Amino acid sequence: MSKPLFEKIALVGIGLIGSSLARVICREGLAGHIAIATRSAETLKRAEELKLGDGYTTDAKEAVRGADLVVVSVPVGGSGAVAEVIAPALTTGAILTDVGSTKVSVIARMQPFVPEGVHFIPGHPLAGTEKSGPDAGFAELFENRWCIFTPLEGTDPAALEKLSEFWRRCGSHIDTMEPQHHDMTMAIVSHLPHMIAYNIVGTADDLETATKNKVIKYSATGFRDFTRLASSDPTMWRDVCLNNRDAILEMLARFSEDLAYLQRALRWCQGDKLFDFFTRTRAIRRSIIVAGQDVDVPDFGRQALRNLPLTQE
């Protein structure tokens, strides 16, 4: 077997993303040693039962000692506190990365604590599901998905290449972006759809009981697809919203304007306008399939992909 890419990888946070990483690192032999740290004793016990690593601790500082790669996979609001705790134990020359869904705020939270000589490279794998916790992860999560880096000025190219190689071996394609550009892009492709889904499901929940029962009964007509997004982890999504507030508010404003356009077209029975709009949006779905980011089957691949990721958070 060839030499592992890293001698010791520390995974701080072992939920959906951290445990998926643990599984693929193990499958691909990417680390000589996998150290796992999580906040609670219960999650740690579960990670140990699932045999996700080689060492387990609730002390993140202990886990990162001697690691040449540290991956922080916690809700973005917690990333600064984690960086503060682990900073004194980070090894010179180590790569420190994260998987947070927002980048500007994560950089602002973590960077001040990163010691000289540690390569901090913020990252975001665009792969996820609505599930959370160590049981939810699977080794194939990152396959054929994008992993975006938002490198800081002066990032060591060799460290960036090594981290890119790591994610490629996890199955991902790599892209780099400015942090602001990343956050604006995610606001439209991921954060806005989640806000809309939370809102639609919330509206249905407010309906009177008789109507609500019918909504559940006939949910396969469209509502069901929103419920999947709207069942995503509340802590993660609270943090995403608060940490990408400006970009999400901007997208919500544009969304409201476009919705008003549709509302007006409907009020005035302007079928041509509705038809043209729906034709334009249909083409977007086709381009997503052509780009290999979804499959063209009536159930959106739910059966075919079983547990494989359907979202790009």
If one asks whether residue 128 binds ligand NAP (CB under 6 A), the answer comes out as yes
Close Cβ partners of 258 (under 8 Å, ≥ 6 residues apart)? none
Query: In the bound complex, what is the minimum distance in angstroms from residue 52's beta carbon to ligand NAP?
Result: 11
If one asks whether residue 310 binds ligand NAP (CB under 6 A), the answer comes out as no
DSSP label at residue 171? T
**Coil, strand, or helix at residue 181?**
helix
Applying CB under 6 A, the span of 26-34, 124-132, 205-213, 214-222 interacting with ligand NAP comes to 124-132
Identity of the residue, 39 or 273, whose beta carbon is nearer to ligand NAP in the bound complex:
39
Identity of the residue, 241 or 262, whose beta carbon is nearer to ligand NAP in the bound complex:
241
Would you list the DSSP string of 92-136? TT-EEEE--S-SHHHHHHHGGGPPTT-EEE-EEE--B-S--SGGG
50-69 residues near ligand NAP, rule: CB under 6 A: none
Close Cβ partners of 259 (under 8 Å, ≥ 6 residues apart)? none
If one asks whether residue 18 binds ligand NAP (CB under 6 A), the answer comes out as yes
If one asks whether residue 171 binds ligand NAP (CB under 6 A), the answer comes out as no
Applying CB under 6 A, the span of 1-9, 94-102, 159-167, 176-184 interacting with ligand NAP comes to 94-102
Query: In the bound complex, what is the minimum distance in angstroms from residue 92's beta carbon to ligand NAP?
Result: 24
Q: Is 8 left (phi over 0), alpha (psi -120 to 50) or beta?
A: beta
Closest to 151 in 3D by CA, of 107, 116, 118, 109:
107
What whole-number distance in Å separates Cα of residue 238 and Cα of residue 252? Answer: 16
Q: Can you give the binding site for ligand NAP, defined by CB under 6 A? A: 13-18, 38-40, 43, 73-76, 78, 81-82, 99-101, 125, 128-129, 132-133, 233, 236, 240, 311, 313
